[in-house]
Chains A and B, each alone.
Chain A
C-alpha cells in the first residue's frame, strides 16, 4: 500500500485516477443509502423539468430526478462491474495456473479453449449469455465473468510459467514441496500484482459491457436505474432534452476512464521493468 502511495506521488496520472476512483466510490456508497430523491419515482407532472435546487440536474421524460438516477445508476454499474470481474478473475486465474502447472495434453487443450473464447467478442458473448439466462442483474454479472475468464486465464498462465521456471521454485521442489504448495505459496503471490493491474483494466471493459447490456434492455431491469438504459431511453428525446443523454454518457465515460487510468497507473507502479 505504501508502495502505491509512493508511486502515486511519482505518477500524477495514477494519483488523479486514485482520487477520481475514491470520489466515485464515495458517490456509489452514498447512493446505496441516500439519493436526493427516490431514484425510480415517476412524476408525470414534472417531465423535463430544468435544473433547480430541488432537482439539481432536472428530470427525465417520466419526471424522475436525473441526479438521483445517475447516482444509483453509477452505483449499479460499478457494483456489477466489480462483481463480474471478481467472478471472472477467480476461476480464470485458477485455470491459468493449473494449465501452467500441467504442461500435458489437458493443459494445452484447456488453453486452446481459452484462446477460442478470447477470439469471441466480449459484448457478443455477453449478449449470448443474456439470451440464455434472460435479462437481469445476474445475467450482467455472469456475462462479464464469462467475458473475463479467458483474459485472466491467459495472463495467469503466462505469468505462472515464468514463475515456475525460477530457481526458488526449483529449490522448493528439491526440498520436497508438493505442486499445490508451490502454486499457492510461490506462484500466486508473484503474479498477484499483474492480476490486479489486469483487473483494473478489465473493470473498464466490464463497465462498458454492463452499459451495453442495459442499453439493449438485457441488464438491470426497471425501476432500478442504469446508465445504459438511461442512454437508450434518451434517444428519442435528443432534440428536446439532450442532457438526458449527455449527463449519463459523461458519467459513464468518467467511470471507464477512471478504471482505465487506474489500470495503467498500477501497471507502471507495480511492474519492476516499467520502472526502469
Chain B
C-alpha cells in the first residue's frame, strides 16, 4: 500500500502547485531557448546557443543584422568605402561605454579584428577575417580596415556575432562575465537553468522597454509547452512542439509566429568512416529518406524540403529534392552494389533539440527499412560539440541545423566534421569567395548546390522553420531568423 500512498501524495502536491497566478510584470521578459550555451563569448565559439542570448542584446558589432537580414550601422555610425572596394573607413559612434564603464574607442575595434584574424585566433568563423590585410586606428573614433581583395559581404560579415566588438581588458573573461556595449548587461548565469540580463543605464542608444530579460534553457518539447502554459516562460522563439500550434493559435493567451530561418537541417554522414565514404552508400541513404514524412514528424510539416545545402527562399536556390527521391528498392540496390547489401550497424548521435530528436526517430526507422541498423544516442549540447562536431568526430550519422547564412562553403573545409575530400568543390568555393559580380556569385553558388546534391554529401532534409510562440501582448520579437539570435532590444508589452 506504500505505493498507493506515495502516488496520492504526489498527485496532491501536483494539484496544489498547478494553477499559479499568471501575473506578468510589464517590464520583464522570460525567453525560452532550447539549449544552454557552453559559455557567453560568441567570438571564440561556434555554438548558436551563445548567439541566441547575447547577439544585439549584450554585444554589438560595427554593424548588426536586422530582421530582414540587412546590415545596419551600429557601433560604426557611418563609413566610407574606397573606389576599389578595398579600404573601409569606419566612423565610430561617440559616447559609447562598455558595461564595465570603459569608453569604447578605435583601439577596441583594432583589438577585436586583430584578435579574430591573428594566429592565436579561436574564432569559429576565421574565414570572415582572412581577407583583412590591416586594421589601423586613424583617430580615437576612426578606424581604417584594408582588405586584400574585395569582399562583397564585408559589411554583412562585420554584423555577425563572430565580429562582436570586445574590449581587450575583458576579452579573457567574457566567457563567464560578458562585457559588451549593448543595451543589456550581464547580471548572473545560474548554470543549468538561466541567464539574466538587465537594462544598461548608460546605454548610448534608445533604452529598451524591457528592464530585465531572463533566458531559460528548456530542451524538452513537452516541458516547453508546460512552461509556456504556466506562465514561467513568455516566449519560445523556436518552440519544439509544432503539433500544438493549432491549439495555441486558438488560445487567446498565445500568439504563434511562423517564419523562416537560415537553418538547413541535414542528416550528416561521417565521410571519414566506412562505408559512408562511398558515394553509392550515401545515395542509398538519401533514397531511403522520405523528406516529407520527416518534415511532418519533426516540425509538423512547417519546414520546406531541401535537396541541397542552400536556403530555398533565396532567389538563386535550386530545387534538387527530386534528384534522389524516396525509393527503398533503389536504396537497397545501391547498398548491394557498394558491397554492403546486408546493411550495416551505425550510431546516430542526436543533439538535444526537439526537431533533431524527432527527426532522428523517424530517420532511424527509414534507415532500418533498407538494412542500416542505427542506434540512437542523445548527447547534451557541449558533448555533441566536443565529440561529434570537433575531433575525434566520433559519429556515423547526426542530425543538425546549420543556421549561419551562406554556410555551404564549410563543406570545403578539410577540418570540418563532415570530412568531405573533394578538390573540385574546394576550387569552386575558392572562386566563389573571390567573385564580386553578383551574377557570377549566383552561378557559382548554383554549381555548388548541384555538386553537394549529386555527391549526397549529407542527407538534406528540410529548412528549419522559425516556430515562435509567445504570450499575447508581447511585441517586437522577430518573426524570421536571418541570423541565429533573439534580439529583444525592441520587445515590449502592450
**Do these two chains really belong together in a complex?**
yes
CB within 8 Å: A-B pair count: 59
Q: Within residues 62 to 95 of chain A, which ones have a CB less than 8 A from any CB in chain B?
A: 62
Which residue in chain A gives the minimum CB-CB distance to B295?
Answer: A44
In the complex, chain B residues whose CB is within 8 Å of the CB of A222? 361, 364, 376
Q: Is B327 an interface residue (CB 8 A)?
A: no
A44-B296, A217-B378 known; A235+B225 contact, CB < 8 A: yes
B243:A240 contact, CB within 8 angstroms: yes
Contact among A40, A47, A135, A208 for B365, CB-based, below 8 A? A40
Q: List 12 A-B contacts (CB under 8 A).
A: A40-B365, A40-B368, A42-B293, A42-B366, A208-B3, A222-B364, A223-B361, A235-B222, A235-B225, A236-B243, A236-B244, A237-B243
Report, as a range, how many residues of chain B touch the other chain: 20 to 34
Q: Within residues 211 to 261 of chain A, which ones have a CB less than 8 A from any CB in chain B?
A: 217, 221-223, 232, 235-237, 239-240, 256, 260
In the complex, chain B residues whose CB is within 8 Å of the CB of A201? 2-3
Contact with B along A30-47 (1 / 0, CB 8 A): 000000000011101101
In the complex, chain A residues whose CB is within 8 Å of the CB of B225? 235-236
A239:B247 contact, CB within 8 angstroms: yes
- Pick the most buried of B290, B361, B364: most chain A CB atoms within 10 A of its CB: B361
Contact among A41, A44, A205, A217 for B290, CB-based, below 8 A? A44
In the complex, chain B residues whose CB is within 8 Å of the CB of A42? 293, 297, 361-362, 365-366
The CA of A222 and the CA of B220, in the complex, are separated in Å by 16
User: What is the number of residues of chain A that contact chain B, defined by CB distance less than 8 Å?
Assistant: 27
Q: Is B148 an interface residue (CB 8 A)?
A: no
Nearest 7 interchain pairs by C-beta: A44-B293, A42-B365, A236-B241, A235-B222, A222-B361, A236-B244, A236-B243
Q: Is A186 an interface residue (CB 8 A)?
A: no
Q: Is A204 an interface residue (CB 8 A)?
A: yes
Q: Is B74 an interface residue (CB 8 A)?
A: no
Q: Within residues 208 to 260 of chain B, which ones have a CB less than 8 A from any CB in chain A?
A: 220-222, 225, 241, 243-244, 247
In the complex, chain B residues whose CB is within 8 Å of the CB of A40? 365, 368
Q: Is B375 an interface residue (CB 8 A)?
A: yes
In the complex, chain A residues whose CB is within 8 Å of the CB of B244? 236
In the complex, chain A residues whose CB is within 8 Å of the CB of B378? 135, 217
Q: Is A55 an interface residue (CB 8 A)?
A: no
Contact with A along B296-308 (1 / 0, CB 8 A): 1100000000000
A44:B3 contact, CB within 8 angstroms: no
Chain B residues in the interface with A (C-beta under 8 A): 1-4, 220-222, 225, 241, 243-244, 247, 290, 292-293, 296-297, 361-362, 364-366, 368, 375-378
The CA of A61 and the CA of B378, in the complex, are separated in Å by 21
Write the nearest CB–CB distance from A145 to chain B, whole angstroms: 18
A237-B243, A260-B3 known; A44+B362 contact, CB < 8 A: yes
The CA of A225 and the CA of B479, in the complex, are separated in Å by 37
Which residue in chain B gives the minimum CB-CB distance to A62?
Answer: B297
Which residue in chain A gives the minimum CB-CB distance to B4?
Answer: A260
In the complex, chain B residues whose CB is within 8 Å of the CB of A232? 222
Which residue in chain B gives the minimum CB-CB distance to A208?
Answer: B3
A221:B243 contact, CB within 8 angstroms: no
B368:A223 contact, CB within 8 angstroms: yes
Which residue in chain B gives the minimum CB-CB distance to A204?
Answer: B3
Which residue in chain A gives the minimum CB-CB distance to B2?
Answer: A201
A44-B290, A135-B378 known; A256+B365 contact, CB < 8 A: no
In the complex, chain B residues whose CB is within 8 Å of the CB of A45? 293
Which residue in chain B gives the minimum CB-CB distance to A234?
Answer: B222
Which residue in chain A gives the minimum CB-CB distance to B294?
Answer: A44
Contact with B along A118-145 (1 / 0, CB 8 A): 0000000000000000110000000000
Which residue in chain B gives the minimum CB-CB distance to A256?
Answer: B3
A61:B297 contact, CB within 8 angstroms: yes
A62:B222 contact, CB within 8 angstroms: no
A232-B222, A236-B225 known; A41+B365 contact, CB < 8 A: yes
